[in-house]
Chain A
């Protein structure tokens, strides 16, 4: 128990990776995210939970400017990555997304071979000098994605031919291949069966060693299992943010409590 306490204190003192200040998001006329302030720490798994349509995915997509691809979306306020405003006009979203990788709800491997799926990111970002380097990166990423042993004999097979869980781990491997600093995961297990979910969750826990991981999840159990920090969103507001243990055992806000006990959502 004592050890645990020390570990927790260490978590608290970790450096802030991303911080949002007075962040607002509008979809056309709809005010989707209202005045969110949050500090996301490095080498930590942060979970966003909340009922459907509460804005947690929207906010996640703000963190690597994926909302830019939607014409009607507009972001106000500031979001800092290592102290730099990612919505600064000088920032190139392409460079940003190389630093802040993303894994999506549905596994979305490209219609290419497994190898090319993983090599895609390093190739476009010029991370490999030659074929040998690329081989190393692909192997390392597939290992980190905990799928190397399953696919090492068929790297030339199409990525779309894998099972759902394998596809999602392939997508995670693909995301870590570009050496991001932050990994965003948008309900990465919602399309997976329990066994595949367990494998991915185990993987998330390992990724924490090197990355700041932000995961949106529908499942409170999952948030409790994998995250150190939890943020509860409701109707576009960040209601509560804190240590995962504390949120689940002793929520400060009545809305959080209602959600956790299953009265809303």
Chain B
């Protein structure tokens, strides 16, 4: 039974539970609401909640576990001999899944009867051709082991789905029955419902933690796989990045240093653009601009923050890149490429202007007015006050803001994908194309990916490195900013 149907049935059961629970409560109080412990809706909600929530949670867990269980059983079926040279179990597994999906499609389209799908043999039929006819393209001929595993896979899937349907509905019915029988006029329905809702709220708030755990685990696993195939010293200290596309392993050199260099170089250029402009813009807005000027200029600059990064990327690609090449790089003899550190850095700097300026604005405004008055009262000019009193007082906060901006710059993807180029190199010339960690994550994980080869897995190691760097910067920055705010609170 499709998941959607199960969900609908459970929900319907919950709806019925609501009505019945309410009615039973009213009946037990002889129709007089005043004799009930809680309002009648709470009795209804109690039944509905106990019917729906455990059943759906159970189903969610089951759906998460099912693929793992099935896979574990199937993997045992694949003999060592079926794994070709240079391939791996997980690759064969994905073949199995694909064939199984193909059989499903064939059955759904009526090209095969369910019996046929379970009984066809590679020995007698060209499975690839038959599946091709229903639009499932397979890379190679289906080996008998794979087909058998796929058929078994389908069988297991069907069986597990059936078990799940029964169990989920059973959980729902048990919840329904239990809560329905509980319903009497003295039952503290409101308290129970509120506890239930509170648990749901807590569950929702833990999603943030689950996400972080998911991020770390998903990258950690694949990174470990990567380091089992490629030495970590070569990864962290290698100065050459040249993944081979032909074979697996061997010839590839996957040193992260050129990528880190490009990332840092571009980030530094971006910060050199964004920090002075953003800071001065914030100072001007908060200390000099009249209300009219502020009302116009501030939203305009904030628009820059709302523009998606792909737009900046395109801006770099079609406008800034060619402009820098034609007016700077070529006349100065520094390069011929429109994708360059400068292009990506300048555009990223523009993107970060509103980020730096709004953070600085908050921070400058947090400096107490009495401090400014003290300086102005001594006969300091506004600029002297800002430079010698406000900025030093706001310095920790501004440093925190710059760190946050740096973390943004390091993790930014689309601008560098379109503006920085794809050549990994360590060079000082800012008009040369260089590449970054994020660009390589994109290029290694799009197109043909093979989750057994170091060339693909390296993306997870890059991702983990990126995550650790940005996390470090963020934690440090948030800590500094928080400390700074406490100082003036």
Contact = CB atoms under 8 A, between A and B. Distances in A.
Task: Let me know if chains A and B touch directly in the complex, using CB atoms closer than 8 Å.
Answer: yes
A120 interface: yes
B228 interface: no
Contacts of A95: 379
B392 A111 contact: yes
Contact of B378 (A71, A97, A111): A97
B380 A94 contact: yes
Given A108-B371, A111-B393, A71 B377 contact: no
Given A71-B290, A110-B393, A112-B392, A124 B373 contact: no
Nearest to B371: A108
Interface string A157-187: 0000000000000010011001000001000
Contacts of B368: 108
B389 A69 contact: no
A250 B392 CA distance: 51
Contact of B377 (A102, A109, A112): A102
Given A101-B378, A120-B389, A124-B379, 4 more contacts: A69-B372, A94-B380, A101-B379, A108-B370
B116 interface: no
Contacts of B371: 108, 110-111
Contacts of B378: 97-98, 101-102, 120-121, 124, 174-175, 178
A264 interface: no
Contacts of B389: 110-111, 120
Interface in B385-444: 388-389, 392-393
B380 A124 contact: yes
A121 B388 CA distance: 11
Interface in A199-232: none
A150 B291 CA distance: 45
Contacts of A121: 378-380
Contacts of A125: 379
B370 A106 contact: yes
A64 interface: yes
B374 A171 contact: yes
Contact of A97 (B372, B377, B388, B393): B377
Q: What 9 A-B pairs are tightest by C-beta distance, nearest first?
A: A102-B377, A98-B379, A97-B379, A108-B374, A108-B370, A121-B378, A111-B393, A124-B380, A110-B389
What is the interface residue range for chain A against chain B?
A: 20 to 34
Contacts of B290: 71
A108 B372 CA distance: 9
Interface string A80-110: 0000000000000011111101111110111
Contact of A66 (B373, B381, B384, B392): B373
20 contacts: A69-B372, A94-B381, A97-B376, A104-B370, A105-B370, A108-B368, A108-B370, A109-B374, A110-B374, A110-B388, A111-B371, A120-B375, A120-B388, A124-B378, A124-B379, A124-B388, A125-B379, A174-B374, A175-B377, A178-B378
Contacts of B393: 110-111
Nearest to B370: A108
A178 B379 contact: yes
Contacts of B388: 110, 120, 124
B379 A66 contact: no
Contacts of A69: 372-373, 376
A93 to B, nearest CB: 8
Interface of B: 290-291, 368, 370-381, 384, 388-389, 392-393
- The CB with the most chain B CB atoms within 10 A, among A97, A101, A110, is that of A110
B268 to A, nearest CB: 29
B373 A104 contact: yes
A221 B329 CA distance: 76
A105 B373 CA distance: 11
Given A71-B291, A110-B389, A120-B388, A104 B381 contact: no
Contact of B379 (A94, A105, A108, A109): A94
Interface in A100-146: 101-106, 108-112, 120-121, 124-125
Contacts of A94: 379-381
A119 to B, nearest CB: 11
- The CB with the most chain B CB atoms within 10 A, among A96, A111, A178, is that of A111
- The CB with the most chain A CB atoms within 10 A, among B371, B373, B384, B392, is that of B373
Contacts of A178: 378-379
A50 to B, nearest CB: 21
Contacts of A106: 370
Contacts of A174: 374, 378
A104 B375 contact: no
A104 B374 contact: yes
B294 to A, nearest CB: 11
A110 B387 CA distance: 12
B287 to A, nearest CB: 10
Nearest to B368: A108
Contacts of A101: 377-379
A102 B370 CA distance: 12
Contacts of A111: 371, 389, 392-393
B141 to A, nearest CB: 76
A227 B372 CA distance: 28
A195 B357 CA distance: 45
- The CB with the most chain A CB atoms within 10 A, among B291, B370, B376, B389, is that of B376
- The CB with the most chain A CB atoms within 10 A, among B368, B380, B384, is that of B380
A103 B378 CA distance: 9
A39 B163 CA distance: 97
A178 B379 CA distance: 9
A103 B389 CA distance: 16
A103 B291 CA distance: 29
A99 B379 CA distance: 8
Given A110-B389, A111-B393, A124-B384, A66 B375 contact: no
A64 B377 contact: yes
A100 B247 CA distance: 82
Contacts of A71: 290-291
A56 to B, nearest CB: 17
Nearest to B388: A120
Contacts of B372: 69
Nearest to B382: A69
Nearest to B290: A71
A96 B375 CA distance: 14
A95 B376 CA distance: 11
A92 B375 CA distance: 16
A66 B370 contact: no
A8 B341 CA distance: 78
Contacts of A175: 377-378
A46 to B, nearest CB: 18
A66 B322 CA distance: 52
